[in-house]
Structure 1
Amino acid sequence: MLNKYFLTVLFTLSSTVIFSQKTYIPDDYFEKALIDLGIDKDGTVNDSVATADIKDVKTLDIHGKLYISDLTGIEDFTALETLDCSQNKISNLNLSSNTHLKELKCVMNGMRNLDVSNNTKLESLNCAYNQLNHLDITNSTKLRVLAYSNNNISNLNLSPNIQLEKIYCSHNSISTIDLSNNTKLKELDISLNYFSSIDLSKNIQLEKLQCHQNPRLKQLDVSTNVNLSVLNCLNNHLTALDLHNNVKLKELRCNNNDLTMLNIRNSSNSIITYFDATSNPDLKCIQVDDEAAANNGQAPYTNWKIDNTASYSNDCQYSLGIDKFITKTTIVYPNPVKNDLYIDSQVPLIRAEIYSTLGKRVSNIDHDINTISTDNLNKGIYFIKLYSSNGIAVKKLIKE
């Protein structure tokens, strides 16, 4: 009977200790957020919260509170699976006790240190817009989504993270990255970095690639990325782009490069909804599925954007390039012109084409090339391409 009494007393005392146990919360803004969420049930800012109130919390959203700088106490949220503490002032974040964490967002904190080494169940991590120089995710082998854009990271080991499907690392200081183990990758953003090249040969499932504004990037091979639907490689120094294997491509932005070759003859031009290859002054020929429709600005090429000095062909390998001698020795007059346009050239001409400033061919002349009527042209600026057996001459034309 006495033993039974002591056991009852011991159980009661243990329950009371557990019930009354407190977790230290020194940041008043953090505690106020817990009160607002109904988690801190005493409703008073007193630097503590009942541990019993937080130990079973699975989701905690305290983003946008702006002034939280210390998450001390987070270690007792032992059941936590989702945490969003974005848009605060948290410079250091240690989540080593939150071993059940699956999703973490800590965007825009000015954070300098982030420890997720114990978070082996982590599936999604977004730590963009911070001041991180280092990030170790080698133990987070279940990670599927990783976003660390706008930091100061120059190196990151992704080899153990074989489940990764999305990587966003724009605006860092990265010059090289090994993605050979990330064969499930579908989306990649490496823009605004310092890549001179990137190996994507193992990333067969890749669907979206953003690699714009890498000032050292001169070559890009996406021949094995047959599932690619979106490619943004503008503002680089690419000289050639071969997309004939990319049959699912829907959007292409390759403007502002140094392209001399662009092959997009992939038998799927009809599904392309956006195409911009402007500001490539040395790109004279773009290889496409339907040369005639493209040069006439017909569907699906109606809204494609190219330079006036470029044209389309089914086979650019045999297309003629701009010949400086022909251009210099060919005279087009009068210019501006009202009616007939006269052409005087030292080499025989075989064809002439007139293009609008939007790149649409408005006239094709294959006979009597030395005298061309412009009666069908509206007032404005045009470009005339003059073809010979040796090359092409391009002249600017003003119709009055």
Structure 2
Amino acid sequence: DAARSWGGSAVLGVPPMSNCRGFPHSLLHQDGSREQGTNILSIDLGLLNNETTNIDDKNVIQFIRFPNWSSIAAARFAHDHPEVIRQYWQNLSRLIEQDLPDFKDNFRSCTGNYPFQVPKTDNTINPNNNEGENFNGVMFSSRWLADDMGLTQSRDVLRRLVETAHKQTGFSNWSPGDWWVIVLADGDGMGNYVSGAKLKEYKHYILTDQLDQSSQQVKGFEELLETKKRMGPATHVGLNRALLDFSNRLVPYITEKRFCGKVVYSGGDDVMAVLPLEDLPEFLRSLRAAWCGAEDPQQEFHPKGGYWYPNQQLEGLPDRAHFTMGEGATMSMGIVIAHKSLPLPTVLDNLWTAEKDRAKKLHGATSGMEGTGNREQGTGNRQ
């Protein structure tokens, strides 16, 4: 299929059997407002028809707001070592100027003018957003770089130049733009939360030390404390607020401010995000803690009473307590570690299999224990 959807609220469109690398032939963009609780990631294939839109590859860059897979893969390395990224770009630029002089301007245009589209990385590489001082991961792939440069001949030459630039920069037989990760997370047992089956007795919610003695001596008070709490409008509001804070506040902050990732979709208890492999372990720990209000692995929040309180003002977040799903809430996660050469439809098929057919079927995934999807790994050589 060219598209998959979650509950009608988000659509990820992909051309069949395409690498969907994002630049410039796949126009990935995000629409919608996080404040409204909906993020939509789509590929507008109509914009790719130059005959109807009169948009060429040089102008289409302004519409792209989603990273290509090499940019995602290299985002953490570029953030931590921007000077190495600049050195690699300079090495490759010099080689292209020597061996492919007619395409030197094309190379500089499609690499130096286009950012990673990963906020944390771009803020490090080009904090003042100066024109011509950006980089993006397409320069690590000779195949994608050839497409963006409009190179129909001499592709073998460009491949040799890319490999030479890797060696000159010290990458040897590896590349920071090879492997990326996609995570699909879904809250466990959400129907039980909505129906009230997860609620405990009133004694867990009533602060008896805040009540005067006369109120506690009213007939039936002890019986009330042992009665299971009922699901009412106020509890529904609290549940909705927890899902809203998680998907609209905490997920974007953790993914794009704390780590070098990008949110694909975040709504309610459903999350899809892409990120570099280096960030995966700590990202999963942070996401899990934000969901259930546990101890923050990076100590930017402190948990109390099912809320997450910022320890200081954090970029993009209001300075207030954030609702969480509370102690005992769990998530099932499908995780795919993919090579940049693996077609996106293949990655997505494995992702849904990992989350729905594996993680959700692990012991405890629907009864309170955390389920984590097995890894599906694509293979391939750097092109």
Which protein has the larger Cα radius of gyration, Structure 1 or Structure 2? 1
TM-score w.r.t. length of structure 2? 0.18
**TM-score normalized by structure 1?**
0.18
Higher relative contact order (CA 8 A, sep 6+): 2
